[in-house]
Structure 1
Amino acid sequence: MPLSIQYVKGLFQSRKGNIERMVEHVADSEYYSMQHFISESPWDARTGFDTVALDTNEVFKSFDQVALLIDESSDLKKGDYSVGVSRQYCGTIGKVDNCQVAVYGGLSAEHYYGLIDTALYLPESWTANRKRCKAAGVPKERYKHKTKVELAVDIVRYQLELGTHFDFPPGWEETNLPTLTFLKRNGFSFDRAFCNTCMCSPSRTTLFTGIYPAKHKVSQTLTIGGPLSPSEPTISASLPSIMNVLWNDGYDVQYRGKWHMSKGVAGNGATTNYDNLTSADISLFGAMGWIAPDAGEDVNPLNFGGGFANHDARYVAEAIKYLQEVKVKRAAGELNLIA
């Protein structure tokens, strides 16, 4: 019988989870062989998990809906030598204590469940201490700190590449993403999506260029009179974006609504090149017809800082007016409208 099978049987059959007690309950097992297998033998845990994941995936193929569940769990520890041990929140007891924490992934179908992956969480007190990591045998690729969410993403990405199959729970998308569901039902689908921040400037620039802030250089939220706005770089008008790619290919690209993507580049005399954006600024990015002012300009102290809340209504009115113009053009000949 393989030592791995003996060890698993020992975990289930022995009330105390130490090897000395395990060999008392598992037939044909031997203490030193099992001890060497767990402590010294160079077997690869990754290969073991992959085998379990693919076997579980095969068993669950008969189910219509299979979910990948992600959660963390923790184990109380004494001392400072166990890898990743630290005083941190321990879900097992519901408070901060000395423990190890790991992120786990498991396949679930109906009332069946199978653990298929895990990643040990390393607090910054570990990743900031290379000597400690090296002494504990932490692989070099784990020296960089990762949050639990990042570990969860790693698990999902790895399982997809491995070929593990799982779905969203039935009705989840319709309930939680109604707008995306509506777009899909009406012919719009998104195969690549970027979600790096909820802040206007970086996220909108990332959406339109398809690259991260580290590449397009817009990394701060642009605000009128904000301390970071004067030093915020302007996105290069030559950087490929949805707008200028279509414009260069002969499309009539129109933009209506809030800009909040980058400071202007047309040299309109603004002190930060963000105040008082004009349509000339926006046209350099390949988008025509933009109508000033941009949302937020009305809260500029120079404009008495009052602000108003009807920007959305204005944008809708601008879009409807343009579509009415398109309707007239369409009546006069062929027109392909892409929104």
Structure 2
Amino acid sequence: MRISRELLIDLARREAERRGAENDVLSGYLIGSVARGEPQFGDSADIDLVLIHKSSPPAAREMISLSQQVHLDIAHHGQDLYLKPSALRVHPWLGPSLCEPIFLYDPEHFLEWAQAGARGQYYRADHTHTRARAFLDRARQTTSLLPVSSRWVRTYCRAVLEAANAVACLTGFPVAGRRLSLQLSEAAQSLEYPDLYGGFLQLLGSDSLQDWSIPETLSAWARTFDEASNISSDPLLSSCRRDYYLNAFQVLAEMGEAKAILWPMITTWEQALHALNQPENLEQPHSGWMRLLEDLGLSSERRSAKMDDLEQYLDRNEALIEVWAERSGA
């Protein structure tokens, strides 16, 4: 069953208005796939709602299930985050979020004021270059933490995505969510830089996959997610997120894009294991996870080589960014 974009926007607006009437919400806006008008993916949808609070928000993230197919993914921000709008345009995440949102609730015109400053000259080459450099700096900083990280897989995947987004944002926006691999592929084509996507997949170990049983792997992922969801208060492990991801994984596999599953599957699986207080290298009962790490070349004994590959990917991406900047007059 397909749910109209208009209904999803209306659901978000109602929630923003309700929060505004009941507590200290100053403004609310919609971002993500619904705001961009992208088609529903995998017969499930999340509504990415951002609420700006007058005081310190009660939580950073919140999930609310609206039906079996739809849930609200709410990010809570304090208004202090928006008090320097001109600086937001070069923020690697907030700048893109404020560039083309859908306003839902803004009785005091605070969001209108903040967005005007953030969006002004957003696409100017030097501002785009600054956002790219910000992602690159984040990636290098995250990479530097790998030798001492107690959650190596999580830290590594974050660095890989930041490294990819350093280049992807040259097309206007960074990639995120279930579609991030498909979006990276499109960015690579747009920039005529195939290594953006190819290198991203290589770092995740896609070239090492041989006889990958997708149904078996997804079944093991789902079991771990269910276990974690039952005991964890982490909003990212809410039960409404299970089918949201699983349906998308299955759609990608049916499209012949199974490798596009890797980043969201690995990161959510690791998060679930962490919630269960299980070390990454646990043998049983999560042998599916260990087998996946081995197949992807992410097991402990092969991590040094992966870190070297990541450094080389960062260097290649940095070179591309600087060539782009010179050609664009940044």
Specify the TM-score bucket, using the shorter chain as the normaliser: under 0.3
After TM superposition, the score normalised by the length of structure 1 is 0.23
More helix by share: 2
After TM superposition, the score normalised by the length of structure 2 is 0.23
Larger Rg: 1
